[in-house]
Each structure stands twice: as C-alpha cells, then as structure tokens.
Structure 1
Amino acid sequence: MAALRHLLRSPTTKTLKSFRSLSTSAPSHHNHHQRNHQYLTPNDYINSWEPPRDPEEAHARLAQLRRDYADKVRQARKDYIEEMELMRIEKRRQDDAKMEALRIANAERKAAKDAAKKVRAAERASKERAEKLELWRMRSKQVEEKKKEKNELMRRKSSMWIDESELEKKILEAIVDTTPL
C-alpha cells in the first residue's frame, strides 16, 4: 500500500511502465476463459444426413423427417397442455384451500365477536338490573321516609289536639270571640 502511494506521488516514466506492466501481466477473465474453455462433444444428429441418390427416396426421407418433427411437436404441445392443466388444478386446489381457511377464520372471528357481544349484553343487563334495584330501593326508602315524616307530623299535631270535654268550650269561644281578618 505504501509502495502504491509512493508510485502515485512521483509519476515518472519508469514507475508508469512498471505500473502498466503490472496491469497487463495479470490474466483477465476473458483470457483465462479462452485458454480453459471445454467445448461440447459433437452431436451425432448434425451432419448425419447423407443425400440419397434417388429423388423419390429423398422425398420419402424428408416426409418421414417432417412427420417425426410433427409428432415431436405434437407430443411437446400435449405435454405442455397436460402440465398447464396440472398447474391449473394445483392452483385451483390451493385457492380453494385458501378460501376455506379464510372462511373458517371469518367464522371463528364472527363467533368470537358474537360471544363478546353476548357477554357485553349480559353485563349490560346485569348492570341495568342492579341500577333498577338500587332505584327501587331508593324510592322505597323515600316512601318510607315520607311515611315516617307524615307520622311524625301527625304525632306532633296530635299532641295539640283538644279533648272532647274542652272541645265545646273552644268552639263557643271561637264563635263569641271572633278576630277580624
């Protein structure tokens, strides 16, 4: 690293040549690939055609090649269609499984919601019953208190009541001694 810094600080022709030689001496990927590339073995099918001497035989062999090619293409298409059908069936099965899982999850969520609603409704009803009971107790207590007050008032007033023997005297006094309003 220090040598590279030294080279960069003093760019003389000698250092530039040595730097250039360093960059070209390392084998590049391209050179390495060209030296070590291994080619495939020759295909038996290529260059296997030997032209027949008779034109009818040539036409027959060419027709046979076309038929073989058509059969291979037909088989490849058939295989492709079968593979696509299998993939479509698998995708439909996966989609159905997903939909079923979603349906079950929704049903469970709905059941949980309904259960929570029922619990809240029961709590609300219990609270309302407790409030009504408390209200009823308060009202009955107020009625009791009013009765007690009325009885107390009656007891006080009854202490001022006049005996029957003095009642006639009081009536006569009231008639004789009237006070103007």
Structure 2
Amino acid sequence: MAMLRSSARWFTTSARASHHNNHRENHKFLSPNAFLGSWEAPKDPKEAEAKLARMRREYAKQVKEVRKEYIREMEAMRIEKERKDEARREALRVANEERKKLKAQAAQIRAQERDIAQQQFRQTLLKERAEKFENWRMKVKMHQEKKTEEKESLRQQSSAWIEEGELEKKVVDSMLQVIDL
C-alpha cells in the first residue's frame, strides 16, 4: 500500500513538474518595459508629478491590454479544453454504444444457443418417452400372448377332463375301491 502511495505521489509530482517545465518552455515573456530606467528627474516638481501621472496612465493602459490578451488566451484555452472534453465524451459514448451493441449480440447468441439446447433436450425426452412407451406396449403384448397361450393350453387340457355326469360315477367308484397299501 505504501508503495502504491509513493508511486502515486511520484506520478503527481512528475506530472506537476512536467506541466511546470512545459509552461516554462512555452511561456512568452513581454519585451522589456520602456518605463524601467527611463525616469529622468525634472527640476520642477509639478512637471515631475505630471510626467509621473502620464507614465502611470500609459502603464495602466498597457496592463489593461495585457489583461485583455490574457483573458482572450484563457477563453481560447477554455474553449479548446471544452472541445477536447466533448470529443472525449463523444468517443466514450460511441465506445459504450458499441460495447452495449456487442453485449446485446452476445446475449442474443447465447439465447439462441440456449433455445437450440432446449429443443434438443425436448427431442431427446420425446424419443426416450416413445422408446419407453414402445417397450411397455411390447411387454403388454407379450403378457397378453402369454395369457392367450395359457388359456389355449388350458382349453386343450380341459378336453381330457372328466364330464360332470361321469364325475359322480368316478367318485363313487373310487370310494368303493379301496386301495391296499
């Protein structure tokens, strides 16, 4: 954490230093002022006072012009900064729109893939259900066939059975005949 702070501090310090160096290189100094070293003291104090007042007025005019120029430069810099900021915001907006568009396309593709997977799952389920139903039908059919076979076998065996009229006679005969053991 301390390393992060020191690197951030270094970055801001170097950024300031860079700005300072850039300003120092690009700054245009005014030409030397004609007022400096131009005073020659007149002998009459009233004339000196009038001359000093003229110099002050001229200096005030020059300062006013310098201030106007400074204000124009600041306004131009502000307009340029606003233009750059607007261009940056527009680039960010376009990038965001593109990212949203790509995200929406990706979501749409995922939705299509999900629909395809669900459709395949449904088809697999229907196929399995059809197979199970067919298997159940075959088992029911085999069960029915087995029952039919048993009934047929029973019917064939029943032809060898004893009739009711003869049944009484056989019962009486069997009672009469004692089997010796």
TM-score bracket for this pair, using the shorter chain length: 0.5 to 0.7
Q: Deviations over 1:127-169 (max 9, x none)?
A: 0110010011000000000011111111111111147983321
1:3 is matched with which residue? none
Whether 1:113 aligns to 2:133 is no
Whether 1:59 aligns to 2:44 is no
1:16 is matched with which residue? none
> Structure 2 regions of 5+ residues with no counterpart?
1-27, 41-50, 176-181
CA distance 1:171–1:152, shift in 2 (3 Å): farther
2:22 is matched with which residue? none
Within-5 A mapping of 1:89-108: 89-108=86-105
SS of alignment partner, residue 86 of structure 1? helix
CA distance 1:174–1:144, shift in 2 (3 Å): farther
CA distance 1:52–1:151, shift in 2 (3 Å): same
Structure 1 runs of 4+ aligned residues shifted over 6 Å read none
- Offset of 1:176 from its aligned partner? 6.7
- Offset of 1:88 from its aligned partner? 1.3
Separation in structure 2 between the aligned mates of residue 106 and residue 115 of structure 1, nearest angstrom: 14
Q: Deviations over 1:6-29 (max 9, x none)?
A: xxxxxxxxxxxxxxxxxxxxxxxx
Within-5 A mapping of 1:33-72: 46-47=31-32, 49=34, 51=38, 54-72=51-69
2:129 is matched with which residue? 132
Letter in 2 for 1:46: S
CA distance 1:177–1:82, shift in 2 (3 Å): farther
SS of alignment partner, residue 59 of structure 1? helix
- Offset of 1:119 from its aligned partner? 0.2
2:24 is matched with which residue? none
Letter in 2 for 1:114: A
- Offset of 1:47 from its aligned partner? 3.9
Whether 1:76 aligns to 2:73 is yes
Separation in structure 2 between the aligned mates of residue 47 and residue 82 of structure 1, nearest angstrom: 31
Whether 1:160 aligns to 2:157 is yes
Higher RCO, Cα 8 Å, sep 6+: 2
Separation in structure 2 between the aligned mates of residue 57 and residue 176 of structure 1, nearest angstrom: 170
CA distance 1:157–1:175, shift in 2 (3 Å): farther
CA distance 1:62–1:72, shift in 2 (3 Å): same
- Offset of 1:87 from its aligned partner? 1.3
CA distance 1:106–1:171, shift in 2 (3 Å): farther
**How high is the sequence identity, in percent, across the aligned residues?**
9
